[in-house]
Structure 1
Amino acid sequence: MKETSIQECEECLAPAEAFSTIANETRLSILEALWTAPERPVTFSELRRSVGMRDSAQFNYHLGKLTGHFITKTEGGYDFRHAGKKVVRAVLEGSFNEDPELPSFGISGACTDCGAGLQAAYADEQITIDCTACGRIHSRYSFPPGGLNDRTREEVMDAFNQRVRHLHCLAADGVCPECNGKMETTLRRAEEPDVAATVCVEHRCAQCDHRIHSTAGLKLLDHSDVVTFHRTHGIDLCATPYWEFAWCVSDEHTTILSSDPWSIRVTIPLDDEELRVTMDGDLTVTDVETFPTGTPADSRTTA
């Protein structure tokens, strides 16, 4: 783990000290009480009453340990600093203290290989989508346990769809969805025989080493030309789960034009037309063309 920023910041806490500070039931209770307070800042007496600690001196000791890094003291009482909110959100997310599972259940869409139905399951903080017949995996991404709370299975999948879209938008734009560090994108030819993609896209954070792997097509879900092309064919791309599009979950419609430098083309067929989108090694769109279905790849008759 890098500690450059800690060495340069005289008032920052070292990671071990930061975790030891909040590894206390009373201090977590203080953060929870501050979070659930109807209004902030919250006075000392109101916080102590919410936590339920009679010993004022002992409560003040724990409150002092949090003040400065996790919470701040104002004229009106106590309020959160960003680090304090992150702690509470991490608890609510459930990654620290929950490990739920959901058995397989049917979802919308059909297998891009055999046409059978799809199913989803939740385990190890991931949602996996695969085919009910051939077992082909169409998607597998992280989903914090807190995302399961107060949602039906359909609502969970709607949330998962939006989460994956936003994760890849951030990653492709160079922002790590975990730590906000610099994310770099690289392409390589798939070498594993059980991988459906012929082109592997990897987004890697230079700061925390968080990595996201995907097909090239996922980058196009919010591209204006792709959205418009689907709209003209009566499809709301934003409202349709990404796993229902073959060009998002496999490389069936992806062609490698060059690997030095990288140039790839994703072909999106709809009715009697197909949209051909060319991207470079950074997944930047360099060309978009619409053709009648079946037009040879080297034709340039339609803009």
Structure 2
Amino acid sequence: MSFDAEALRNALAAHGRVARVVIAAHQGSSPREAGASMLVWEGGQSGTIGGGALELDAARQALSVATSRVTRVPLGPALGQCCGGAVTLVTEVFEDMPELGDSYARRVEGNTEEPLAVTRAQADGRNGSGVGMVFERGWLCEPVQPARVPLWVWGAGHVGRAIVDVIAPTQAFKITWIDSGADRFPDRSDAKNSFVINELTAVNIPDAVPHAPRDAHHLILTYSHAFDLDLCHRLLGHGFASAGLIGSATKWARFRSRLRALGHSEARISCIRCPIGNRRWGNTRKPLRWAWLLSYC
């Protein structure tokens, strides 16, 4: 687990004052592992430290913390839980982004000097050793999560929904999801992945292409062949890291011909992958979404 700087930055921009609660340590059985965290703001939250009374109580108290607080919580009858272990929670309140590098080390309790283990963890972070979280003598050091890969998903139909369902929980991608109307998107009342998904609407879907970063990855999955073709045309002119188009070999042959007529070279057109997925897995939603994710990785 790591410190999610992007999630905190987005929450601060939207809500102004945000508490972060992280499981810094646990003894015995616990609902989540060390490093699991959640963000809490007035009227909402994202992420989870395991749910139940532990999370409810931590969220309720989070915004009352002045700067930081360390709480050791037995997971027993007092919370109505039967895990039998105990967790140590670190709650911090942010109004601005902290200074971050490859790791984020700070004193969260007491007035001790920085322990050697924390100093070593920061050095390991700088040289790419990828150490985990360290909580020692009132100090907490967490690796900072790398920036998410930008992924633009064009279309919120059944295939788009299936792909987003499996990709969003990995939290490896910053997903921009585009369709022609707000009613095209599923109801996402569960906020746990809200900070990795940004929904955009454009009546003419390809009009959103200029807003995409040129290093983004794209999946073209709209309900309209006309939209799909125009997206391919505009993306070829705009630039992208990768692009995949849902469809058959026949559809792609027709598109290639149209794209050549629009002035694109064969080499450039070949930068778009179609069909996407792996035909040995079939073309239903579940195999398609996993085939795309594995082919990307």
How does the TM-score come out when normalised to structure 2?
0.23
Q: Which structure has greater helix proportion?
A: 2
> Is the radius of gyration larger for structure 1 or structure 2?
1
TM-score, normalised relative to structure 1: 0.23
